[in-house]
A and B are shown apart, each in its own frame.
Chain A
Amino acid sequence: MYWSSIFWFLTWPVLVIFSHYLVRFMVKKYEAKLEKDVPPE
């Protein structure tokens, strides 16, 4: 009787892990672009 709840519950770590790897991937891809044209403070 708990299976659908357990399945839903497991989406939480999936959300965190997926976000983590997405962030890693996007930072790797766009970091250089973000570091361009930084005006002096």
Chain B
Amino acid sequence: MIEAVDLTLVNWSRAQFALTAMYHWIFVPLTLGITIIIAMMESIYVRTGNPEWKRITKFWMTLFGINFAIGVATGIILEFEFGTNWSNYSWFVGDIFGAPLAIEGIFAFFMESTFIAIMFFGWNKVGKKTHLLATWLTAIGANLSALWILVANAWMQRPVGMQFNPETARNEMNNFWEVLFSPVAVDKFLHTTSSGFVLAAIFVIGISAWYLLKKREILLARKSILIASLFGLVSSIYLVLTGDNSTRTIATTQPMKFAAIEGLYNGTQGAGLVAVGVFSTSKTDPNNENLKDFSLKIEIPNVLSYMAFLDWNAFVPGVNDLINGNEQHGIMSAYEKMERGKLAVAKLTDFKNAQKAGNDSLANVLKTEIMDKAFQDNFFKYFGYGYVDDPHKLIPSIPLTFYSFHIMVMLGGYFVLFFILSLVFTLRNQLENRRWYLRLAIWTIPLAYLASQAGWIVAEMGRQPWVIQDLMPTWTAVTRISAGAVQTTFWLFALIFTILLAAEVKIMLRQIKIGPKH
């Protein structure tokens, strides 16, 4: 059974996981996108036979290799943390969550690793076409690897395709396809991988811009910018479309996250989209730290309703509607959900007690009641609320979610314009004359990383307090070890990851200064 634990431990465990995930996500998006850019460059080399393209391909491949080697280390630690820091979570849903992680390990990771070896060491050992195939398979393998991790994450945001087993107190997968093709999983895969494409394109443009500023490797830089601008422009438009679809999915599956994204406290019909907003420090509810007014707000009328439900006048629930309920719009209050959750938890406890006491007939009756569809739909669905003692704990950090979302969206819009600009200057062969643009391109690299991290903050902070939406609050998922131990490993990881990042940046900068081999 799951019981509440010390909040210091929960907070340190969350901090440690967030630290690992954020460091890991520094390395991953570049891998997702740059492998595809490299494959495109090599395709041109194989088609034209022009050795200049081989040189360009090998240069970007070297930078990818540095990034990949260091990124793997953080990813492995992340997977271990499910067992070391989140063992209650792993027990409760390991039968479902473990499957995509295992597929990722066996299928995508092995595929990616195998073909990477051919890609790096097979230039003079296999034929041109075989080598090109290995490069493409590395790119596809890297993205397939991301698919399974994102399917697992999406399942936590919207648990589907499973059945609760009272005997083991675990959820078990009963429909693999529902897990794989959940709208949240598909949205997450499309949006996340395309954000990696955009980041990689910006990376290639930024580094190439540095060469142009230094008047070095002019041909490599021009050709790389042409490819990256095209790929980046198509990917950034796709990123906007998938982001829009993802927002609509969130509005229906995670309404509290959606309200937090827009800082919407009181639901309204024809809700406006806050294009720019600054929170004031005054609180509308003195009992709640999270509820704050805007001191500045530029709102576009009705757009939020349309974005969420494709209806200009649709009702969009706010934080207060989700906590207090709204009968008119059929929204159940958090208090009611907590009552139902407590009933579900009590029923499961009674079942376990009857089992322990050897009262098989009572245990069978209780098991039948728990497995009953009506009970599952009306009570067990709110199981996690049974561990919530204060409904205000159901509200994520609204300022953090709001600002992260708006930073991500604004930067996303900027990236589309940036790629258009890059393409125009490239096609007119004016890149070297636009030194301001070249400097801008270099400074856009950190902005791409900022947008990428902000996206994950929205996804993960916005769904708090749930580790599994509605079924498991974060504080019940944690492993009961000493908070001191987690604190120690947090600082240890922080140190190691920072050293790894510094090493990556140093090696990469050195390699860029050296430039491609002639």
Inter-chain CA distance A30–B222, complex, in Å, is: 11
Residue B186 contacts which of A9, A23, A31, A36 (CB distance < 8 angstroms)?
A9
Residue from B185, B187, B219 in contact with A34 in the complex, judged by beta carbons closer than 8 Å: B219
Asked if B193 contacts A41 (CB within 8 A), the reply is no
State whether A36 touches B182 (Cβ < 8 A). no
- Contact of B235 with A23 in the complex, beta carbons under 8 Å: no
Q: Which residues of A have CB within 8 Å of B292? A: none
Q: Mark A3-26, 1 if CB is under 8 A from B, else 0.
A: 011101101100110111011101
Report which of B193, B245, B426 forms a contact with A12, defined as CB distance below 8 A. Answer: B193
In the complex, which of the residues A2, A23, A35, A39 has the most CB atoms of chain B within 10 Å of its own CB atom? A23
B40–A35 touching, CB < 8 Å: no
B183–A5 CB distance below 8 A: yes
Bound complex: CA of A37 vs CA of B150, how far in Å?
46
> A41 CA to B218 CA in the complex, in Å?
8
Nearest CB in chain A: distance from B196 CB, A:
12
Bound-state Cα–Cα, A27 to B350, Å: 69
Q: Which of B82-90, B224-232, B437-445 contacts A (4 or more CB under 8 A)?
A: B224-232
User: Cβ of A19 and Cβ of B190 under 8 Å apart?
Assistant: no
Verify B181–A19 contact, CB threshold 8 A.
no
> Contacts of A6 on B, CB cut-off 8 Å?
181
Q: How far is the CA of A6 from the CA of B223 in the complex (A)?
A: 35
Give chain A residues whose Cβ lies under 8 Å from the Cβ of B226: 26-27, 30, 34
CA–CA, A11 to B193, complex, Å?
A: 12
Q: Which residues of B contact A24 (CB under 8 A)?
A: 40, 43-44, 47
B231 (CB) vs chain A CBs: closest residue: A19
Give the CA-CA distance A5 to B158 in the complex, in Å.
14
Chain B residues lying within 8 Å of A23, measured Cβ to Cβ, are 40, 44, 227, 230-231
- CB contacts under 8 Å to A, within B179-217, are 181-183, 185-187, 189-190, 193-194, 215-217
Is there contact, CB below 8 Å, between B215 and A34? no
| B178 within 8 Å of A (CB atoms) | yes
Instruction: Check if B36 is an interface residue, CB within 8 A of chain A.
Output: yes
A3 to chain B: closest CB distance in Å?
9
Taking a contact as CB atoms under 8 Å apart, the answer to whether A12 and B189 are in contact is: yes
Contacts of A5 in B (CB 8 A): 181-183, 185-186
A5 to B222 CA separation, bound complex (whole angstroms): 38
Q: Which residues of B sit under 8 angstroms from A36, Cβ to Cβ?
A: 429
**A37, B429: Cα distance in complex, Å:** 9
Residue of B nearest to A35 (CB): B219
B423-434 vs A, Cβ < 8 Å mask (1 yes, 0 no): 000110100100
Give CA–CA (A4, B186) in the complex, Å. Answer: 10
B194 and A34 contacting across the interface, CB-CB below 8 Å: no
Q: A2-B181, A34-B222, A34-B223 are in contact. Are A19 and B215 (CB under 8 A)?
A: no
**Distance in angstroms between the alpha carbons of A34 and B432 in the assembled complex:** 12
Is B238 part of the binding interface, using a Cβ–Cβ cutoff of 8 Å? Answer: yes
**In the complex, A37→B222 CA distance in Å?**
12
Chain B residues within an 8 Å CB radius of A16: 36
- Measured between alpha carbons, how far is A5 from B183 in the docked complex, in Å? 6
Most buried by B among A1, A19, A26: A19
Query: In whole angstroms, what is the CA distance A4 to B183 when docked?
Result: 8
User: Contact: A2 with B178, CB < 8 Å?
Assistant: yes
B411 on interface, CB distance cutoff 8 Å = no
The distance from the CB of B314 to the nearest CB of chain A, in whole angstroms, is: 20
State A7–B426 Cα separation when bound (angstroms).
34
Chain A hits for B44, CB < 8 A: 23-24, 27
The answer to the question of B436 belonging to the interface, with a C-beta cut-off of 8 Å to chain A, is no
Give bound CA distance, A1 to B177, whole Å.
10
Closest CB-CB distance, B252 to chain A, in whole Å?
13
Which residue of chain A lies nearest to B428 when distances are taken between CB atoms in the complex? A33
B133 lies within 8 A of chain A by Cβ: no
A6 to B36, CA, bound (A): 22
Is there contact, CB below 8 Å, between B427 and A30?
yes
Question: Closest approach, in angstroms, between the C-beta of A33 and any C-beta of chain B?
Answer: 6
B234 at the interface (CB under 8 A from A): yes
Chain A neighbourhood of B189, CB < 8 A: 9, 12
Contact B190 A8 (CB under 8 A): yes
Report B-chain residues with C-beta under 8 Å of the C-beta of A35.
219
Q: B430 to nearest A CB, angstroms?
A: 11
Contacting pair A33 B183 (CB below 8 A)? no
- Contacts A/B (CB < 8 Å), 14 sampled: A2-B178, A2-B181, A5-B183, A5-B186, A16-B36, A19-B36, A19-B235, A20-B43, A22-B234, A24-B43, A24-B47, A26-B226, A27-B226, A30-B427
Measured CB to CB, the residues of B under 8 A from A are: 36, 39-40, 43-44, 47, 177-178, 181-183, 185-187, 189-190, 193-194, 215-219, 222-223, 226-227, 230-231, 234-235, 238, 245, 426-427, 429, 432
3 closest A-B pairs by beta carbon, nearest first, are A2-B181, A5-B181, A34-B222
